[in-house]
Amino acid sequence: MIVLLGVVVVILGFVTRRNPVLVVGVAGVFTGLIGGMNPLEVLAAFGRSFADSRSVTIFAVVLPVIGLLERYGLREQARRLIGRLGGLSAGRFLTVYLLVRQVTAAFGLTSIAGSAQTVRPLVAPMAEAAAERTTGAPLSERLREKVRSHAASADTVGVFFGEDCFIAIGSILLITGFVDSTYHQNLEPTQLALWAIPLAVCAFLIHGARLLLLDRQLQRDMALAAAEHDLPLPKGTDK
């Protein structure tokens, strides 16, 4: 039972917001030692499992390619491509983004988008603009936060439940690496990726539906706010 204290170390480390690399290192050494290994065995365990999990870090070879393309305007061109999808409501726009993010991640292109690369400069402002265009009034502070939060969620859900359909992604490699080294079986990455597809579809249906419902919520909330404050109704509601 005492080895479960290693889990406690991880929890404490993250709750007190220590450097995650340090937390992981301390928890590893601590768990090994209280689990009855001597210091040399702990070192050997670190070395052996590091060697076995090298495949997780292999994606670093793609960085020079992406770096080169970004220097030559990959993001700018992607922005133009997405810019052609204007004229949508916030919910529909974010649903399209969710789909694009899932499909590209399923082809291994996880790093062409992200909260820093696309959500902040592109997706969130476009979603806000779309929401203001369809409801015909400026967003309140609360609704603006809501739209931004949903923009972030579309990106995260999209990449999480898209990337596992790609065979050379970290999580698939981790599963095969772990099973190969622990149980001496040879798992086929393609099989694992195949089983990720049904859940990718579920994720799109569930999160897509919620993003579409966001439009109605925004309409209702803004009409309510307008009525409560006895303000003139937003343009277009008299249709």
Partner 1 sequence: MIKVEWLYWLVGLVFVVMAVQMAADRSNPRRWTSAAFWGLLGLAFPYGTGVANATAKNGGWTLPAEPLGVAVLALIVLAGFNFLGKGTPVTSTAEEREASATRLGSKIFIPALTVPLVAIVCASALDTSGLFETGKATLLGLGVGCLVALAVGMLVTGERRLSVPLHAGRSMLEAMGSALLLPQLLAVLGSIFALAGVGTQVGKIVHNVLPDHSQYLAVIAYCVGMFLFTVIMGNAFAAFPVMTAAIGWPVLIQQMHGNPPAVLALGMLAGFSGTLCTPMAANFNIVPATLLELKDQYGPIKAQIPTALPLLVCSTVIMAVFAF
Residues 83-122 that bind partner 1 (CB under 8 A): 107-109, 112, 115-116, 119-120
Q: Is 63 in the site for partner 1 (CB under 8 A)?
A: yes
What is the longest distance spanned by two Cα atoms in the chain?
77
Q: Is 44 in the site for partner 1 (CB under 8 A)?
A: yes
* Of residues 136 and 189, the one with the C-beta less far from partner 1: 189
Stretch that binds partner 1, among 9-17, 129-137, 221-229, 230-238 (CB under 8 A): 9-17
Sole binder of partner 1 in the list 31, 89, 102, 135 (CB under 8 A): 31
- Residue 213: DSSP 8-state: H
Sole binder of partner 1 in the list 83, 87, 140, 145 (CB under 8 A): 145
Sole binder of partner 1 in the list 19, 84, 232, 238 (CB under 8 A): 19
Half-sphere exposure of 217 (CA within 13 A, CB side): 14
Sole binder of partner 1 in the list 130, 139, 148, 218 (CB under 8 A): 148
Considering only residues 205 through 234, tell me which ones interact with partner 1, judged by CB under 8 A: 206-207, 210
The closest of 86, 89, 203, 66 to 147, measured between CA atoms, is 89
Residue 133 C-beta: closest distance to partner 1, Å: 20
* Of residues 49 and 237, the one with the C-beta less far from partner 1: 49
Q: Is 129 in the site for partner 1 (CB under 8 A)?
A: no
Amino acid in the structure at residue 99: L
CA-to-CA distance for 95 and 172, rounded, in angstroms? 26
Q: Is 97 helix (H, G, I), strand (E, B) or coil?
A: helix
Q: Are 139 and 132 in contact (CB under 8 A)?
A: yes
Q: Are 174 and 58 in contact (CB under 8 A)?
A: no
C-alpha distances (whole Å) from 130 to each of 8, 79, 86, 127 are: 45, 16, 8, 5
